[in-house]
Amino acid sequence: KMSQKSITSYFKPN
């Protein structure tokens, strides 16, 4: 089973 993280886990809020 594959899952996907939110893109917010990868980029920091400015």
Partner 1 sequence: MFEARLIQGSILKKILDAIKDLVTDASWDCSPNGMSLQAMDTSHVSLVSVSLNSDGFDKYRCDRNLTLGMNLISLSKIIKCAANDDTIIIKAGDGGDKITLLFEAQNESEVAEYEIKLMNLDSEYLGIPDTTYNVTIKMPSNKFQRICRDLSQIGDAVTISCAKDGVRFGAAGDLGSGSIRLAQTATSDKPEDSVTISMQEALCQSFALKYLNHFAKATPLSAQVTLSMSPDVPLGEPLLFNVCVVEYNISDNDDENPSTIGFIRYYLAPKIDD
Residues engaged in binding partner 1 (CB under 8 A) = 1-14
Q: Least distance from C-beta 1 to partner 1, angstroms?
A: 5
Q: Least distance from C-beta 9 to partner 1, angstroms?
A: 7
Q: Least distance from C-beta 6 to partner 1, angstroms?
A: 5
Distance CA 14, CA 6 (A): 16
Distances (CA, A) of 14 to 1, 8, 9, 11: 33, 11, 13, 9
